[in-house]
Amino acid sequence: MKVGLFIPCYINQLYPKVGIATLELLEKLGVDVDYPIGQTCCGQPLGNSGYEEESKGACKLFIENFKNYDYIVCPSGSCVYHVKKHFDILEQTDDVINVRSNIYELTQFIFQILVKTNVGASFPYKVGIHKSCHGLRGLRLGSCSERMDAPYSIEENLLKEVKGIQLKTLNRVDECCGFGGTFSIFEEAISVKMGKDRIQDHLNSDVEVITGTDQSCLMHLEGLINRNNQPLRVMHIAEILNSTL
Amino acid sequence: MSHAKEAELFNNDEAKVNWHDQALWFVRNKRDKAANTVKGWEALRNLASAIKSNVLSNLDNYLIQFEENAQKNGIHIHWAADAKAHNKIVHDILLKNNAKKVVKSKSMLTEECHLNPYLEARGIEVIDTDLGERIVQLAKEPPSHIVLPAIHKTKEEVDVLFQKHLGTIPSNGDPQYLTNEARKHLRDKFLKADAALTGVNFAVAETGGFVVCTNEGNADMGIHLAKVHIASMGIEKIIPQEKHLGIFLRLLARSATGQPITTYSSHFNKPSLGKEMHIIIVDNGRTEQLGREHFRSSLNCIRCGACMNTCPIYRRSGGHSYKATIPGPIGSILSPGMDLKKHSSLPFASTLCGSCSDVCPVKINIHEQLYQWRQIITKDIKQPTVKATTLKMAGRVLANSKLYGFLGKSARFMLKHLPKFIINSKLNTWGKARDLPKVEHDNFEDWYKKRKS
Amino acid sequence: MSRESILNAIKKNKPELEILPEIDLEVFHEDIDLIETFISNVNFVGGSTVQLDNLENLDEEIIKRYPNAKHIVSCSNKSQLATISISKETEPHSLESIDLAIIAAQFGIAENGAVWISENDFIVRVLPFITNDLVLILSKKDICLHMHEAYNIISKRDKTFGLFLSGPSKTADIEQCLVIGAQGAVSLTVFLI
C-alpha cells in the first residue's frame, strides 16, 4: 500500500511540526508514505468563500499530485471533507473518483484502514478534545451531540490508548470554535467570542492541552490563548499520537 | 448594515451575549433530552424529510385536493400570489364583516407580509396574542426568533414595558405576575375581537383540514370567540394525509422547545355553525424557491427554530442582526432567494459547522445550502474589493506549484520578520484579538526535502 | 388570477415525482407501561393525575381539589357537579366566568401525556380554553402508545373540530421562565379511572 501524504498549505508553511508528526507516526505504523512535492492546496478556503470556480485550478493540481496513490492521508478533517464533498465541481474522471474515495483524515485512516487504536504513544497530561466540525459532522469521525446515534468517536478511541493521558469532558462537547476560514476575518467579533467561549470551557474542565484533528481550529484557539496569556497548550492530535516519553 | 456589523455591535455587551447564548443553549439542551426519549428519532426525521420531498414534487395536485376538500366542509379558500395580494384579501374579508378589532396568533407568514402595519394604516386594531409577540409588539420591534419572539428581552425590560402599556406595578420582572397581567389584558382583547387571524402549522390535503399548535391557547381563544377566522398559510405547509401528522407532531415541539407536544394541537375541519373560516394560500416567492434545485428543500421547513437554538452564531449575535423576517440558519437560505442583494451577507454569517442540518427535523441540508448561496452571491453581488481580489489571486497561485512555493516562502518571511506592532495593528483583522502563529525553522516541504537527501 | 399563476408556477418548477415513503411502525414500538408513562408525561407538562378505582368518589375527589369552583360545567355524565349547563346554542362569551370544566376524554397518549377531545365532547368550542381550570376523565384502558396509534384511532371520526390537549396552558416567553397558566386553563387534572 502506497500512501500519499497531503499536508494542508497552512500546516506546510506555519505548523510544519504537525506535518512532521504525521509523517513520523505513519512510518512508525509501518506505512510506506510519500509526500508529493508540488502539492499546494485543496481549494477549501476559496470554495468556502464562494469562489469555487476560481479554485478549480488548485483542485486539478491536487488530483495530478495524488492520483497514483492507494490512499491519501491528511492531518485535517476539513481538507479531506472538502475533497470528498466539493470536488464534484471537477469532471468526474477515474482519477478524480479514486482520489475522492481513497482520501482519509489521519485518525480515520489509522482506525478504519490500519485498524489500530494503540499507536504506542505516551502523553501524561490532561487533554481536552476539540471536535472540529468538518471532521465530526462532515466526515462523521464521531457521533455528535445533536443526533440520536449510538455514541462513538475515532479520536477518543485512539487517545484513550495513549499512556498516561487523562481525557477531560467538556460542558459543550462539540460546539464550533468559530474559525470558519475567512469567517474569522469577516465576522471577527463572533469568531473571537466563539473561540473565547471554547477556551473557557476547556479551562473550566481542568484541561492542560487542547487537541483536535484540524490545525485551523487549533491555530485560532492558540492565537487567543497566547494573546490572553492563558494557561493552556494547543497540540494537533498527530503530535500527541506521535509522542513518546 | 451587514450581519457582521450588526453582530459586532451586539458583541459590545459581552454580558448580554453570554446571557442570550446561554438562554438558547438551554433550549437546545431541552431539545436533545426530548429527542433522546423517542425510540426511532432519526427514523422520524428520515420519514418527515421524505414526505416533504414527495409534497414538493406533487405540490400543485395536493393544493388542489386540499382546496376541494376544504371547500366541501364550508371553508373559504383564497390564493395570494404575493404579500400585497395576501394583505388585501385579509382586509377585504375584515371589511365585509365590519371587523375593526382583530386578534392574531403567531404567524411568521403574516410577519413576512407586513400585515400589521397594512391593517393598522386602514384603521384596524391588530393585537398579537402570543405573549412573546405581544411583548415585541408593545416594544415596536420585530420578533428576534420564530418560536421565542422575545428571547432577546430580559424580564426587567418586560417589566418596564408592561408598566408603561399595561399599567402593571413594578415587580422586578416577576414572570408569574407579568404573565397573569398579560392574561387579563389579552382576555379582554379576545372577548372584544371581531376576527381572529392565525397561521397554519400543517394543512392536510386528504381532509381539507389544518392544524394550529400553541402552548398558550391564544389561537383557540381568538378563533372560538370571534365571528371570523382567517388562517394564512404558505403553499409548502401542505402534507398529504392526516396520519402524517403523527410524524410531524412528534418532531415539532420536541425540536422547538423540548416538550413532547404543544399544549394545544387544534385540528380544524369545519367552521363553527354560523361562523366563517377562511384560508389564504400564499406564494410570495415560494414557487421560485421550488424551482431552485439546490435550495428547494428549504421549503421543508416546519418553523421549529431548532436551527437557531443550535447555531453558535445566532446565539451570539441575536435574531435582529440578520435583518430578515426569519433569521438564523434557515433564514439565511430562505431570505437570499427573496432579495439577494439585501441578504447577501447572511450565508456568510456561518462557519458551516453543520449543527443546524443535524437538528433539523425535516433534514434540510442547511449548511450545504449556505455554501451554495455563497457561490451565487460572489458572482451576482459586488464583493469587497480586498476579499474578491485576494481570493481570486489565491486561486491562481494555488494552481501553480512554483508560484505557490515562492509566495509561501515570502509570507513566512514576512510573518517572521515584520515587527509585531504592524502585524497586530488594526489593518490586520486577525491580529485584533489573536496572536499570529510563530514561524520557526523550515516549512514542511523543505524539511522533507532535506530528510530525503 | 393568483390561483392559476401559482399552480402554473408550481407545475413549471416542481421536481421529478418522489414517492411517499412507507411507514413501518415497528421502528417506534416499545413495550412500556402505558399508564405509568402517561402519568409521568402529564406531570412533565405541568398537569396532575389522580388514580381512582371507580367512578364512585369522582365528584368528591374533584371538589377536594377545586373547593372554590362556583361556576362548573360538566360535559360528562360521569360527574354531577355542573352548576351551569351548556348547549350548542350557548354564546361562547358567556363562558368567561367558568371556573371549572369537566370533560371526558376519548383516549390518552402515553408518549406525551396528551388526550384527544373533540367538539362532541365539550359542545362549545371555546370551553376547554376559556375555563379557568380543567378536569379530564379518562379510562386507564384507553391509553395508547404514540401519535401514530392516536391518528389511527381518530381516523374515522366525524371531522369538525378536535384537539390533542397536553397539560395546562403555559409560556416561557419571559426569559425562558416557565409560567403555568397563560391564556388557557391554568391547571389540568386528569382523573384516571
pLDDT for residue B425: 54
> What stretches of C77-185 adopt beta strand conformation (E)?
100-104, 107-109, 114-118, 133-138, 143-144, 161-165, 170-171, 179-180
Cα separation, A93 vs B433, whole angstroms: 44
B290 and C CB contact within 8 Å: yes
**Considering only residues 59 to 78 of chain C, which have any Cβ-Cβ distance to chain B shorter than 8 Å?**
none
CATH code for position B367: 1.10.1060.10
CB B326 within 8 A of CB B343: no
Cell 506592532 identifies what position?
B421
Strand partners, C170: C180
Quote the minimal CA–CA distance from A39 to chain B in Å: 7
**Considering only residues 77 to 106 of chain C, which have any Cβ-Cβ distance to chain B shorter than 8 Å?**
88, 92-93, 96
Q: Say whether both B118 and B261 belong to one domain.
A: yes
User: Span A136-141, mean pLDDT?
Assistant: 98
**Considering only residues 25 to 54 of chain B, which have any Cβ-Cβ distance to chain A shorter than 8 Å?**
25, 28, 32, 35-36, 38, 41-42
Q: Say whether both B221 and B341 belong to one domain.
A: no
pLDDT exceeds cutoff 60 at A150: yes
User: Span A46-62, mean pLDDT?
Assistant: 93
Q: Which residues contact B426 (CB under 8 A, 6 or more apart)?
A: B432
Q: How far out from the chain centre does Cα B332 lie?
A: 8
For β-strands C107-109 and C143-144, DSSP reports them as: parallel
Partner residue facing A176 (CB), from B348, B351, B392:
B351
pLDDT for residue B283: 98
DSSP helix/strand/coil, C79: coil
Partner residue facing B264 (CB), from C130, C147, C165:
C165
Q: Say whether both B259 and B309 belong to one domain.
A: no
Cα separation, B333 vs C179, whole angstroms: 34
What are chain B's partners, defined as 3 or more CB pairs within 8 angstroms? A, C
Contact C175 B153 (CB under 8 A): yes
For C138, phi then psi, to 5°, come to -140, 135
Chains A and B touch (3+ CB pairs under 8 A): yes
Cell 428571547 identifies what position?
B151
Cβ-based contacts of B281 with chain C (< 8 Å): 6
- In angstroms, how far apart are the furthest CA atoms of chain A? 50
B183 and C CB contact within 8 Å: yes
Closest A-chain CA to B352: A180
pLDDT exceeds cutoff 60 at B426: no
Give the length of chain C: 193
Quote the minimal CA–CA distance from A217 to chain B in Å: 11
- Candidate from B113-117, B306-310, B381-385, C75-79 with smallest mean pLDDT: B381-385
C12 and B CB contact within 8 Å: yes
> Where residue B404 falls among pLDDT bands split at 50, 70, 90?
confident
Q: Say whether both B141 and B190 belong to one domain.
A: yes
Q: Tell me which DSSP letter residue B284 carries.
A: T
Contact B371 A47 (CB under 8 A): yes
With CA atoms as reference, report the closest residue to B444 among A123, A215, A162: A215
With CA atoms as reference, report the closest residue to A167 among A208, A222, A204: A208
pLDDT tens profile B179-221: 999 999 999 999 999 999 999 999 999 999 999 999 999 999 9
Question: Which region, left, alpha or beta, applies to residue B172 given φ > 0 means left and ψ of -120 to 50 means alpha?
Answer: left
For β-strands B228-234 and B195-198, DSSP reports them as: parallel
Cell numbers linked to A10: 497552512
Q: Say whether both B188 and B303 belong to one domain.
A: no
pLDDT for residue B82: 97
DSSP helix/strand/coil, C14: coil
For β-strands B264-268 and B209-214, DSSP reports them as: antiparallel
Quote the minimal CA–CA distance from A126 to chain B in Å: 23
Quote the minimal CA–CA distance from B40 to chain C in Å: 6
**Considering only residues 9 to 28 of chain B, which have any Cβ-Cβ distance to chain A shorter than 8 Å?**
11, 14, 17, 21, 25, 28
Domain boundary among the residues B263, B284, B305 is at B284
pLDDT tens profile A40-49: 889 998 999 9
Cα separation, C22 vs C8, whole angstroms: 29
Q: Say whether both B437 and B309 belong to one domain.
A: no
User: Is residue B26 assigned to a domain?
Assistant: no
Cell 462557519 identifies what position?
B351
User: Span B361-388, mean pLDDT?
Assistant: 90
Partner residue facing C13 (CB), from B221, B261, B290:
B290
Contact B259 C45 (CB under 8 A): yes
Contact B221 C130 (CB under 8 A): yes
Cell numbers linked to A245: 516519553
Q: Is the dihedral of CA A93, A94, A97, A102 positive or negative?
A: negative
For β-strands C100-104 and C133-138, DSSP reports them as: parallel
Report DSSP letters for B103-137, one per residue.
EE---HHHHHTTHHHHHHTTT-EEEE-SHHHHHHH
Contact B175 C150 (CB under 8 A): no
pLDDT exceeds cutoff 70 at B418: no
Q: Say whether both B85 and B212 belong to one domain.
A: yes
**Considering only residues 332 to 371 of chain B, which have any Cβ-Cβ distance to chain C shorter than 8 Å?**
none
pLDDT for residue B103: 98
Chains A and C touch (3+ CB pairs under 8 A): no
For A114, phi then psi, to 5°, come to -75, -15
Contact C129 B221 (CB under 8 A): yes
pLDDT tens profile C131-159: 999 999 999 999 999 999 999 999 999 99
Q: Which residues contact B220 (CB under 8 A, 6 or more apart)?
A: B212, B214, B264, B266, C125, C126, C128, C129, C163, C184
Cα separation, B323 vs C118, whole angstroms: 41
Q: Please count the other Cβ atoms lying within 10 Å of the Cβ belonging to residue C27.
A: 13
Domain boundary among the residues B347, B380, B413 is at B380
User: Span B135-149, mean pLDDT?
Assistant: 96
pLDDT exceeds cutoff 70 at B413: no
Q: Tell me which DSSP letter residue B345 carries.
A: T
Partner residue facing A37 (CB), from B375, B434, B445:
B445
With CA atoms as reference, report the closest residue to B48 among B362, B433, B441: B362
Cα separation, B69 vs B209, whole angstroms: 8
Quote the minimal CA–CA distance from A1 to chain B in Å: 20
User: Span B402-421, mean pLDDT?
Assistant: 68
pLDDT for residue B322: 97
Q: Say whether both B165 and B300 belong to one domain.
A: no
pLDDT tens profile C43-61: 999 999 999 999 999 999 9
Alpha carbon distance, N-terminus to C-terminus of chain B: 56
Q: Cα dist. A239→A31, A120, A208, A214, B81 in Å?
A: 17, 13, 15, 12, 60
Quote the minimal CA–CA distance from A5 to chain B in Å: 11
Closest B-chain CA to C13: B291
Report DSSP letters for B371-415, one per residue.
HHHHHHHHHHSPPPHHHHHHHHHHHHHHT-HHHHHHHHHHHHHHH
Return the amino acid letter for B427: L
pLDDT for residue A174: 98
pLDDT for residue A205: 98
Cell numbers linked to A13: 508553511
User: Is residue B2 assigned to a domain?
Assistant: no
Alpha carbon distance, N-terminus to C-terminus of chain A: 30
User: Is residue B29 assigned to a domain?
Assistant: no
- Interaxial angle between packed helices A56-66 and A94-102, expressed in degrees from 0 to 180 and rounded to the nearest 10: 80
pLDDT for residue B424: 58
CA A152-B369-A199 angle, to 5 degrees, is 50
* Percentage, residues of chain B above pLDDT 90: 85
Q: Which residues contact A98 (CB under 8 A, 6 or more apart)?
A: A67
Q: Say whether both B357 and B437 belong to one domain.
A: no
User: Span B224-228, mean pLDDT?
Assistant: 98
pLDDT for residue B397: 77
**Considering only residues 116 to 135 of chain C, which have any Cβ-Cβ distance to chain B shorter than 8 Å?**
124-126, 128-130
pLDDT for residue B429: 83
- Domain-wise residue ranges, chain C: 38-192
Domain boundary among the residues B237, B254, B284 is at B284
pTM of the model: 0.95
pLDDT for residue B266: 98
Contact C166 B60 (CB under 8 A): no
Q: Which residues contact B191 (CB under 8 A, 6 or more apart)?
A: B225, C93, C96
Contact B401 A52 (CB under 8 A): no
Quote the minimal CA–CA distance from B383 to chain C in Å: 30
> Where residue B422 falls among pLDDT bands split at 50, 70, 90?
low
Cα separation, C153 vs C108, whole angstroms: 11
Chains B and C touch (3+ CB pairs under 8 A): yes
With CA atoms as reference, report the closest residue to B145 among B343, B325, B284, B339: B325
Q: Say whether both B337 and B246 belong to one domain.
A: no
DSSP helix/strand/coil, C102: strand
Q: Which residues contact B421 (CB under 8 A, 6 or more apart)?
A: none
For A195, phi then psi, to 5°, come to -65, -45
Q: Which residues contact B10 (CB under 8 A, 6 or more apart)?
A: B16, B17, B316, B317, B318, B320, B321
Contact C162 B183 (CB under 8 A): no
How many B/C residue pairs have CB atoms within 8 Å?
A: 247
How many A/B residue pairs have CB atoms within 8 Å?
A: 214
Partner residue facing B242 (CB), from C96, C130, C155:
C155
Strand partners, B322: none
User: Is residue B1 assigned to a domain?
Assistant: no
Closest A-chain CA to B34: A148
pLDDT for residue B399: 80
pLDDT for residue B417: 64
Q: Select C38-192's CATH number: 3.40.50.10420, 3.40.50.2300, 3.40.50.300, 2.60.40.10.
A: 3.40.50.10420
For β-strands C161-165 and B264-268, DSSP reports them as: antiparallel
pLDDT tens profile B27-41: 999 999 999 999 999
Average pLDDT, chain B: 94
Q: Please count the other Cβ atoms lying within 10 Å of the Cβ belonging to residue B208.
A: 24
Count structural domains, chain B. 3
B435 and A CB contact within 8 Å: yes
Q: In which domain, by residue range, is B256 found?
A: 38-284
What are chain C's partners, defined as 3 or more CB pairs within 8 angstroms? B
B415 and A CB contact within 8 Å: yes
For B281, phi then psi, to 5°, come to -90, 120
CATH code for position B69: 3.40.50.10420
Average pLDDT, chain A: 96
Cα separation, C137 vs B447, whole angstroms: 79
pLDDT exceeds cutoff 90 at A217: yes
Contact C114 B261 (CB under 8 A): yes
Q: Say whether both B299 and B275 belong to one domain.
A: no
Alpha carbon distance, N-terminus to C-terminus of chain C: 56
* Percentage, residues of chain A above pLDDT 90: 94
Partner residue facing B269 (CB), from C30, C159, C168:
C159
Cell numbers linked to B365: 441540508
CB C188 within 8 A of CB C48: yes
Contact A134 B351 (CB under 8 A): no
